[in-house]
Amino acid sequence: MPTVFSPGEPETRPLDPTAVVYTTGDKVAQLLGIAAGEPVLGAANATSDGFYITGTDLREHGFESGDTIFVYSDLDPLGTEFTIGTPVVAEISGVKYVKLPASNTHANYTTAANTEIQNLTIFTNGKSRGVTKNIVNDHIRRIQDRIDNITHNAWRPYLVSAEYINFDTYKPYRRRYYTDYVGTAPLLFRNVQQILRIELWQGDDYREIGGAEARIEFDNVASLTGKKIYMSTGHGKVATLTAGTGTGEWRGEIDANSTAQNLADLINKEDRVSKVAVEFSPAFTLEGSTSNVAVHNEFLASANSDYGTGVVKVTSMRSVKAGEECSIVTDSSDITIDQTSIHTATVSGASGTFTGGSPSGVITVNSTTGFNKAGVITDGTNVVRYSGLSATQFTGCFTVTGTAPSSGTITQHSLVVDLQGGSSSGDSARLRDWWLDSEMGIIYFNNSYPFFEWNAIKCSYIYGERYLEKAIEEAATKLVASELLMADDRSVLIPEGGQNIDLGSKAQLWRREAMEILARYKEVVVFA
């Protein structure tokens, strides 16, 4: 029989386990003294939006999105650097080439002018070198984990999904002198970047004061295949989570426990079950990133934890009240959504265009009071996203599933944070519900606090140093370089010439220097 791995809360791990943070392949190559690969001839005249090479050159030298190329010709002997996009196949006069998309090219790059293109990224996934970019990045990822384990700290964001904490109170019924708080909760890690959840045990359930939440409950899962859950970030973007068997879907045909876990795995993009990212529509990016934002960037899910079997808790990754702009709906009557603020309205008509690139649909209702300023709504069958509202209308509407409802009742579930006295009065601030000493990792409680019991607080947060120190970068670079030197194919890495130090001694020297650096960064706990 198949074994269903159902751990409940996700483990503590890097927020993005696959990210290369502490060093780069180019920095490693510079330490090793490796130069960029040989240039290739342009296969066709450059156009205003890219350069052209042969398929053979692509396979041998490797060109990928984000690589920097150096292009020169007889008409531009000094050359110019460009950053390329994803290579694509292009046909010119019946001949197929590989196009390297780039902007601001010019007419000096022609075949007649002997245009040459050099990839300045030293380690590529081409076949001309034994050590590829993927191999180097795998080494970097292992070294990152090793550095974190050695120092008991992190220079990248780490996610703590569930940490149980005791509540330390100071005279529970009145504040002590010199304090403006009733108690504290010291976290296990310092350098807290963001609090995601603060769950306070109330004797029979948790009260969430750290992030806006919703709970999804499953009962009858016999007919969930093809059913959908829709999640909106609050600015007119919607992600569709479909029940199915694909890696971008959640399985809903086994039992409530397995269904809940599979949905949580999809929301969190769990690598252990090969889940892939589910992006929002329309797609959007954030500052400093070229990747589209996906569900796992905006929401955190826990399944079958201490909320009950077949229950998924979903919280916004946005801090405290900001998460209340998120909304969630479903087209299945076998899925219950609770722990939310429920809004309903009676539809009187629909007009405009609800499809296409520039939707202008308008749904008229009796009142939009309580609805999010942008989000997703449903009448139980049809699902519509909207980007604005007035007193009696949803505007900028687009049909996600079905058609635009022209009658009946529409519903929206808004995520809610259960602050003291409601979100209109409570908040994260020194004189409000709670506040955080991020450097020391201590939560101070003012108005909201749990029962006076052991493990009364359950916290989720992101920690890690915000600044990657150059010393850590140096240590990571030297450790990766030493591993490459000890590999069987190291001979293709090092340029020919005399060596003052043999390769084995150099690898050991770099390793020793790296460990000396890391020794100064070890986190030590002293009990006085």
The pLDDT, as a whole number, for residue 526 is 62
Flag residues of the chain having pLDDT under 70: 1-7, 170-178, 421, 423-424, 488-501, 525-528
* Percent helix, strand and coil across the chain, each to the nearest 5: 20, 30, 50
CA 317 to chain centre: 10
What are the CA-CA distances from residue 315 to residues 208, 269, 298, 467 (Å)?
9, 15, 9, 27
The pLDDT, as a whole number, for residue 1 is 42
Q: How far apart are CA 384 and CA 365, in angstroms?
A: 14
The residues, any chain, with a CB within 8 Å of residue 353's CB and separated by 6 or more, are 359, 360, 361
Beta pairing partners, 5: none
108's tokens:
């000096």
| Residues 380, 286 within the same domain | yes
Helix (H) or strand (E) holding 40: strand 40-41
Cα dihedral value 448, 452, 455, 458, nearest 10: -10
Q: How far apart are CA 286 and CA 417, in angstroms?
A: 24
Beta pairing partners, 350: 363
| Residues 356, 235 within the same domain | yes
Task: State pLDDT tens for residues 105-157.
Answer: 888 899 999 999 999 999 999 888 778 899 999 999 999 999 999 998 899 99
Q: How far apart are CA 90 and CA 107, in angstroms?
A: 19
Sign, CA dihedral 468-469-472-478, equals positive
| Residues 107, 240 within the same domain | no
Domains: count for the chain: 4
The residues, any chain, with a CB within 8 Å of residue 315's CB and separated by 6 or more, are 196, 197, 208, 210, 211, 212, 213, 214, 299, 300, 301, 323, 415, 460
* Pairing verdict, β 388-389 and 40-41: unpaired
CATH of the domain at 96: 2.40.30
Angle, helices 503-519/470-485, rounded to nearest 10 degrees: 150
DSSP 222-258: TT-TT-EEEEE-SSS-EEEEEBSSSTTSB--SS-HHH
| Residues 230, 286 within the same domain | yes
Q: Is 180 inside a domain boundary?
A: yes
Structural domain boundaries, residue 47: 36-119
| Residues 294, 388 within the same domain | yes
Q: Is 308 inside a domain boundary?
A: yes
Q: Is 526 inside a domain boundary?
A: no
523's tokens:
């986190």
Which of 467, 471, 459, 460 has the alpha carbon at shortest distance from 520? 471
| Residues 269, 306 within the same domain | yes
User: Residue 454, exposed/middle/buried by CB under 10 A (0-12, 13-18, 19+)?
Assistant: exposed
| Residues 361, 382 within the same domain | yes
The residues, any chain, with a CB within 8 Å of residue 5's CB and separated by 6 or more, are 261, 272, 273
Q: Is 10 inside a domain boundary?
A: no
Which of 4, 30, 20 has the alpha carbon at shortest distance from 145? 20
Q: How far apart are CA 426 and CA 212, in angstroms?
A: 13
| Residues 373, 437 within the same domain | no
Helix (H, G, I), strand (E, B), or coil: what is residue 458? strand
User: Residue 431, exposed/middle/buried by CB under 10 A (0-12, 13-18, 19+)?
Assistant: exposed
Q: Is 90 inside a domain boundary?
A: yes
| Residues 249, 340 within the same domain | yes
Q: Is 128 inside a domain boundary?
A: no
CA 243 to chain centre: 22
Q: How far apart are CA 345 and CA 214, in angstroms?
A: 20
Helix (H) or strand (E) holding 139: helix 133-151
User: Residue 59, exposed/middle/buried by CB under 10 A (0-12, 13-18, 19+)?
Assistant: middle
Q: How far apart are CA 517 and CA 524, in angstroms?
A: 16
Q: How far apart are CA 504 and CA 485, in angstroms?
A: 7
Domain boundary residue among 382, 415, 448? 415
Distance, first Cα to last Cα, the chain:
53
Cα dihedral value 462, 463, 465, 471, nearest 10: -110
| Residues 103, 75 within the same domain | yes
| Residues 264, 357 within the same domain | yes
Task: State pLDDT tens for residues 185-236.
Answer: 999 998 999 999 999 998 888 999 999 999 999 988 888 989 999 999 988 8
The pLDDT, as a whole number, for residue 318 is 92
**Angle at the Cα of 473 (from 472 to 475), degrees rounded to 5?**
65
Which of 410, 407, 408, 403 has the alpha carbon at shortest distance from 389? 410
Cα dihedral value 233, 238, 239, 242, nearest 10: 130
pTM reported for the whole predicted model? 0.86
Beta pairing partners, 99: 52, 88
Q: How far apart are CA 369 and CA 387, in angstroms?
A: 15
CA within 13 Å, CB half, 18: 6
Sign, CA dihedral 499-146-270-377, equals negative
Which of 346, 351, 464, 458 has the alpha carbon at shortest distance from 409? 346
450's tokens:
């749990």
| Residues 204, 217 within the same domain | no
Q: Which amino acid is at 465?
A: E
Q: Is 289 inside a domain boundary?
A: yes
Q: Is 26 inside a domain boundary?
A: no
Domain boundary residue among 355, 381, 415? 415
